[in-house]
Structure 1
Amino acid sequence: MKRITYILFFLCCLTGNITNAQTYPELVKLGDEAMQTGQYSNAVYYYAFTLYKIDQGLEAGYYPYEISTTYEAPHTDNTGAIVPPVNPTDKQIKVIHRLGKAYLLADDYENAEKWLAAAIKYPQEEFPNARFDYADALMQRGDYQAAEQEFTTFSNELTDSLSLFHDKARTKIASCEFARNQAVPDQRIIVEQLEGKMTEGSTNFGIQFTSDSHIIFSSARVKSNSDSTQKKDENFLLDLFIAPVNNGQIGTPEKFPFPLNSNEFHEASPTMSDDGEFIYFTKMNPANKNETQIFGSRKIAGKWIEPFKLGSHVNKEGFRSLTPYFQSSNRRLYFSSNQIGGYGGLDLWYVEVKENGDITEPVNLGSSVNSSEDEISPYFQDHLKLLFYASSGHIGYGGMDIFYNVWDQNTDDFGPMKNLGQPVNSPSDETAFIIDDSYINGYVSSNRAVCTTCDSIYSLRAQCNQIYAVKLPGLKFKISGYVYDKKTNNPIPNARIEFKDITYEWPHFEITSDENGYYEQDLIPNLEAFLRASKIDYFADKALISTLGEIESKNFEQDFYLDRIPDKEITIEGIEYDFDSANLRPESEIVLDKLIEFLELNHNIIVEIRSHTDIRGDDDYNMRLSHRRAKSVVDYLVKHGIPLERLVPKGYGETTPAEITDDQGNTTIMSPEYIESLPNRKAKEEAHQRNRRTTFFVLEQN
């Protein structure tokens, strides 16, 4: 798993004042402490010295400040890397296991594979997951077939049925299968490491856009040889940097001034408000990665004030918080934290930052985003409504991958997670991703390249974070289809298709189908469009087309089927009234709500709302009752937004019996004579019910 802000490479940064030679137990303890505090490269050195101290005898000395030993150098291979001992002793076996794990967590996958391969030859109860770690190292190096075999073996050998590693192994096996089936990267996507000043130092990552043609990012680099405020071991401690961007070209980076960058801590993963007045970032104690918190600062009179630690809603005591992202449009601060209430590891959360600075309770982004492992580096692309982040717990290519979820405005939540795919993702770790509004130009932080500035006397070959430019082919969307007569299935030429962007970011327009009823139209990204097809003498049809969350070009197919407007009335099934009353029953309102939708779609028609009674009762009374009932329907429609000038209420009493047409086209009129001829009371009552109806008739179509 990638460590982005918390690897300290040189022993001279170690805490503790060691001046005397250390014994085997003392060195093992130092290595274990380094593992607990996240100083994995230091642990490599301790365990490596310990291993060869055993080989040379307990009197061999190790002096960390002098980087020297009292015994001759260990055996190495032709690359200069140390090699596992042949026929190791019990003590050496224990250190081999520790060293393999330390190499893995220090992102040195080449050496991790070698040492963990040696470790699994000598199983130890103290290290039950060595084969899992070995398979993980294989996966990080892209050997998916071998990794899948090792994960399967590990799963089969696992004796603890309740172990979390059962689920982890299954996920890893699925990831290996996924990666092998997705082996061919998208050739249209170009991923290239940045050059020049952006590659200086030992690591660069966590890039973010600002609203004023700049980028901000994290880097460990020397500012200048004459800088008196330079940090101790500057080349390996992180600071915040800013650089101008002009036509896609990044200018010379400059370090943010003190007090944002301190002299003792890592500062990383910055995010800035759109107005450039606020900045949030991760701050970490280099001696202990567990002390990782989110700080903020604001600009007053053009100068940044002393950073302040955010409150307990973000920085929970005893837990880590890191990689913030501020969404200015709704003042949401997304961040990663392992605080209680998550799904395991580091989860993504958000809080709302009020105008007065108050911060709301944290909200977990849920299982569609978070997993039992780590999620970091949230980035919400506001224009495209996409949440990007890095995860080690979802099915992917190895280590951390970039995933995204679409924001669903209807549910006010994020949709299902998707892997961004190769070549943005790789067998190594990708830990942050951003993209511009056009979905063409972006950047990804990745450790897919071996670091060339962190080799030691034991040849630590760590995978180091660098920033890569991502060039996407751009999104192209098109919609096409036919307009048909719903009854005959014949194409309708010269039909009108209207396009309305429900967000009003795209101008409304219309096109016309050709002589074959065919139409086509280019669409834009981030569009949710309402389409309406219409033709004189027909009722309209509709469709909703969305390119929201689409990150691949797509051709949509959408046909329309129009009903011809009949020359007779249309019954509105389900309209009921209280007995001897014009009051609508609640169930009738549900039916009328559907009629409202129909009239809104067909906004160019004027209709007569008709009410009919059966033949029982006084003629004049039935006429008055039917008119009141028709008017109650019109009143309901007007109350819910249908213009009165489009509605004409009219009661017909018992004067117009219903007409029933069967499947063969035969029409029967529910006249008094027909009803009287029916064989039983039940059939007669059903006929009376058909006559007691509410209908509408199209008077005019504009």
Structure 2
Amino acid sequence: MKNNFLWTILSVFLLLGACKSIQEKGTDQFLSGQYQYAIGTFSQILEADPENLEANEKVAESYRLSNRVELASPYYEKLVEEDPSFERYFYLGQSLKAQEKDEEAKAAFENAKGYTQSEELLARIQREIEGINLAAGIEDYWPYHELVNYKELNTAGADYAPVVSEDFLYFTSGRQASGIYPATGMPYTKLFRTRIEELRVDVSGIRALPEFQNEEGLDQASIAISPDGNTIIYARGNSTSPKDLPETALFASYFRGAGFTQPIWLPVNEDESWWNSTPAFSPDGSELYFASNRPGGYGGIDLYKATKLANGDFGNAVNLGPNVNTPGNELFPRMAPDGKFFFASDGHPGYGKLDLFVAEMGKDGKQKITNLGENINSKSDDFGIFFTEYPKEGFLSSNREGGAGDDDIYYFEDKTPKPKIINVLLTVTTKERVAGEPDQILEQARVVLYDGSNKQIGGDFSNSTGRVRFTMEPQSDYTIIASKNGYFSKSIPYTTRGKTPDPATLVQDVTNVSLDTMLVLDQLILDKSIILENIYYDLDKADIRADAAVELDKLVQILKDNPSIRIELSSHTDSRSSDDYNQNLSQRRAQSAVDYIVSQGIDKDRLVAKGYGESQLIIPNATTEEEHQVNRRTEFKVIEIKE
């Protein structure tokens, strides 16, 4: 019994000693950036002791620092339960946000407020909460763009950051790996290329970058090629060799005569201890955009712009400012030909981790940042956009669910439905009015079509059947004018609104809609009286009534359509008052009509008011009210035609 007790004590001491040794090993791995190894080591400790705070913290931080924060929430939850702090609640909120657990994330951020009095940290928390709220209202920037995984191109490892130059697709991939990167447990990446035509990639011709040799035992990634194809810049780093550079940096290779030079460290890196990556040229090659964690930024990783110097190097790097950069991370810049700036960020309102955004000038002259929307972004990392036909086609990278492996390359296309075409075919028939007979066909009349802005868009002479045909747009307004020597010119408004089917209901790509209208022209004869119908006055009054104004407007239009004519406007009475009274009343009525026409923009010199009283009765011996009304009339006649 005694021996069993001693053996138990000894076993406990041996186990504690082993755990201490494992913990020291895991700590060394964590401090050296070998996060994947540290996760494995501390997970062994958690199997025996799930409450071990140091092991929970090291696993949580290892996931966060290796860009897998969404996997860290169980460990942060254990930490805030046992020993809460601002950082632990804040990172728990970020982990839950990356999983699109928005309400839980907001609760974690709210709890973090209770563990700090820093105005800067409180502002960052509020930004996170507001970002989650704003993400719920994000609209698709390109509603009809469709994203497709390029399965034939992708592998189970990482494939990302595609760039097209001179009919070749360049990209980063973990295929043909020479080792494992300890921080992530994923294969080291190299640069590859293959031929491409539009979006069709020659997946059988993929080979390692031929311009210069990929190095072993480190990551080569995120290539940029100058517009002239003579400069390659890429990110190189994550070597575990103590003799290598301590941080990821930008390297450049230049075309010199027969080939490309061996890559060299770029001066724009400035300091070997700064992280610099994800380069991209401006469309004209005069500027280099890249991401860096150098001091003086606004958060974790910021975007910078460097200018090409006289010696061909890039220098004078400047931060793109707090509108683009956030306390989070901004990477993978892409300047478009029209000045719009695309980039990836986890600091602007989005769906979880890295999302794609565009910075552009608003109508108010201020730069605005817009999330590209749910048809482009996901709750995972979405980044590295490149356009092969801006902005309709291109590639991007994502590690979203449903892919072939880790990071995958996707292509996108604009699938905006082709509009259903509606051709409105209007046939205009010209006729002439003949007294006492049906209207007759009038050929060789000039018919002109004007659009809503009064611009002439068509014109022709009517054929032997009096017809002219025009093609018009649906839901549009027009004016049609017909004219011929010896006739009053005539204009009419015409609209196609409400006369065509809803395009959404159409099946065929092209639908023709046939419409008809008619213009009847009156002969233009000097001194021939033309009666204006429905011109009525109140008893013993000369004021123009509203119903009379409608009829006089028709005469106004005739005068506008025929600017070369001068008319006499006459008024006639019946015979039921004295001659003098009727003469005076008719003159006042004629003048009242002329004054109205002048008020509508007609030159008064084109008008003569003439009252005839009862001197020109149509029915001399009228007895009924109907016969008296025939005598009470308003007429006009053309008294002059100016050449």
- Common fold, TM-score beyond 0.5? yes
2:392 is the alignment partner of 1:440: yes
For the residue of structure 2 that corresponds to 1:131, the secondary structure is: helix
User: Are 1:346 and 2:301 counterparts?
Assistant: yes
Q: Please give the alpha-carbon distance, in whole angstroms, between the structure 2 residues aligned to 1:467 and 1:247.
A: 15
Q: How does 1:74-223 map to 2 (within 5 A)?
A: 85=50, 88=51, 92-108=52-68, 111-124=71-84, 128-155=86-113, 157-158=114-115, 160-162=116-118, 164-182=120-138, 188-196=144-152, 198-210=153-165, 212-222=166-176
Q: 1:272 aligns with which of 225, 229, 246?
A: 225
Whole-Å separation in 1 of the counterparts to 2:315 and 2:69: 41
Alpha-carbon distance, 1:353 to partner = 1.9
Deviation for aligned residue 1:219: 0.7
TM-score (norm 2): 0.57
Q: Are 1:364 and 2:319 matched, yes or no?
A: yes
Larger radius of gyration: 2
1:452-501 Cα shifts (integer Å, max 9, x gaps): 87xxxxxxxxxx32112222335999xxxxxxxxxxxxx99653599xxx
- Could you tell me which residue of structure 2 aligns to residue 648 of structure 1? none
What are the superposed Cα offsets for residues 310-346 of structure 1, whole Å, 9 maximum, x if unpaired?
01x3333421111110125151111111223322221
SS at match of 2:214: coil
**1:195/1:452 CA distance change after superposition, 3 Å:** closer
Q: Is the 8 A contact 1:345 1:372 kept in 2?
A: yes
1:237 equivalent in structure 2: 188
* Offset, 1:304: 2.2
Q: Secondary structure at the match of 1:428?
A: coil
Q: How far does the alpha carbon of each residue in 1:374-426 deviate from its partner, in whole angstroms, 9 at most, with x for none?
A: 111111112x3211111122121112211111269998xx8222111112111
Displacement of 1:94 after TM fit? 2.3
Say if 1:494 and 1:514, in contact at 8 Å, map to a contact too.
no
Deviation at 1:221, TM superposition (A): 0.9
Residue aligned with 1:361, SS = strand
* Structure 2 residue runs without a partner (length 5+): 1-15, 420-449, 458-471, 480-643
**2:250–2:277 Cα contact (<8 Å) kept:** yes
CA distance in 1, matches of 2:142, 2:308: 39
Distance in 2 of aligned mates of 1:367 and 1:184? 24
Residue of structure 2 equivalent to 1:389 = 343
**Paired letter, 2:93:** A
Instruction: Give the Cα–Cα distance (whole angstroms) in 1 for the partners of residues 311 and 364 of structure 2.
Output: 30
Conservation of the 8 A alpha-carbon contact between 2:303 and 2:319: yes
Task: Check whether the contact 1:293–1:322 (CA below 8 A) recurs between aligned residues.
Answer: yes
Alignment of structure 1 residues 431-510 onto 2, 5 Å: 431-449=383-401, 464-473=406-415, 495-496=454-455
1:120 counterpart SS class:
helix
* 3-state SS of 1:405 partner: strand
The superposition leaves residues 523-549 of structure 1 with CA deviations (integer Å, 9 ceiling, x where unpaired) of xxxxxxxxxxxxxxxxxxxxxxxxxxx
Q: Which residue of 1 aligns with 2:621?
A: none
Tell me, in whole angstroms, the C-alpha distance in 2 between the residues paired with 1:348 and 1:409.
24
2: CA distance, partners of 1:514 / 1:185 = 27
Q: Secondary structure at the match of 2:75?
A: helix
Mapped partners of 1:153, 1:168: distance in 2: 13
Aligned partner of residue 350 in structure 2, secondary structure: coil
After superposition, the Cα gap between the structure-2 partners of 1:317 and 1:410, relative to the gap in structure 1 and judged at 3 Å, is farther
Contact 1:494/1:513 (<8 A) preserved: no
Structure 1 pair 438/168, CA: closer, same or farther in 2 (3 Å)? same
Shift of 1:205: 1.1
Is the Cα contact below 8 Å between 1:494 and 1:515 reproduced in 2? Answer: no
Equivalent position SS for 2:222: strand
Q: Aligned in 2, Cα 1:247/1:364: closer, same or farther, shift over 3 Å? A: closer
Q: What are the superposed Cα offsets for residues 213-262 of structure 1, whole Å, 9 maximum, x if unpaired? A: 2221111112xxxxxxx734597011111122124211122211374411
Residue 54 of structure 2: SS of its match in structure 1? Answer: helix
* Alignment partner, residue 250 of structure 1: 201
SS of corresponding position for 1:362: strand
User: Residue 129 of structure 2 aligns to a residue in which SS?
Assistant: helix
Letter in 1 for 2:394: G
Deviations 1:187-220 (A, max 9, x none): 7332222112x2125111111221x122211111
8 Å Cα contact 2:135-2:351 kept in structure 1: yes
Task: Tell me, yes or no, if the aligned pair for 2:106 and 2:129 is still in contact at 8 Å.
Answer: yes
Provide closer, same or farther for how the CA distance between residues 391 and 514 of structure 1 changes in structure 2, counting only shifts above 3 A.
Answer: closer
Alpha-carbon distance between aligned partners in 1 of 2:265 and 2:132, rounded to the nearest angstrom: 41
Q: Tell me how far apart the structure 2 counterparts of residues 408 and 262 of structure 1 sit (CA, whole Å).
A: 45
- Give the letter for the 1:151 counterpart: F
What are the ranges of 5 or more consecutive residues in structure 1 without an aligned counterpart? 1-20, 56-83, 223-229, 454-463, 478-490, 499-510, 519-702
Deviation at 1:272, TM superposition (A): 0.5
Does the 8 Å contact 2:253/2:264 carry over to 1? yes
Answer whether contact 1:497 1:513 (CA < 8 A) is retained.
no
3-state secondary structure, aligned to 1:426: coil
The answer on whether the counterparts of 2:178 and 2:187 sit within 8 Å (CA) in structure 1 is no
Alignment: residue pair count: 413
What CA distance in whole angstroms lies between the structure 2 residues aligned with 1:515 and 1:403?
Answer: 38
For residues 379 and 497 of structure 1, the distance between their equivalents in structure 2, rounded to whole angstroms, comes to: 45
Change (3 A) 1:94 1:259: same
Which residue does the alignment assign to 2:256? 300
Secondary structure of 2:407's match? strand
How far the C-alpha of 1:445 sits from its partner, in A, is: 1.3
Rounded Cα–Cα distance in structure 2 between residues aligned with 1:432 and 1:231: 24
SS in 1 for 2:109: helix
Deviation at 1:168? 2.6
How far is the alpha carbon of 1:360 from its aligned partner?
3.2
- Please give the root-mean-square deviation of Cα atoms over the aligned residues, in Å: 3.8
Q: CA deviation at 1:284?
A: 0.7
Preserved CA contact (<8 Å) 2:140 2:372: no
TM-aligned CA deviation for residue 438 of structure 1: 3.9
Q: 2:218, 2:239 within 8 Å by CA — same for their partners in 1?
A: yes
Asked if the contact 2:145/2:392 (under 8 Å) is kept, the reply is no
| 1:319-338 alignment, distance < 5 Å | 319-338=274-293
Is residue 46 of structure 2 the alignment partner of residue 51 of structure 1?
yes
Change (3 A) 1:354 1:93: closer
SS of equivalent to 1:199 = coil
The CA deviation string for residues 600-620 of structure 1, in whole angstroms up to 9 with x for no partner, is xxxxxxxxxxxxxxxxxxxxx
Question: Is contact 1:100-1:119 (8 Å) kept?
Answer: no
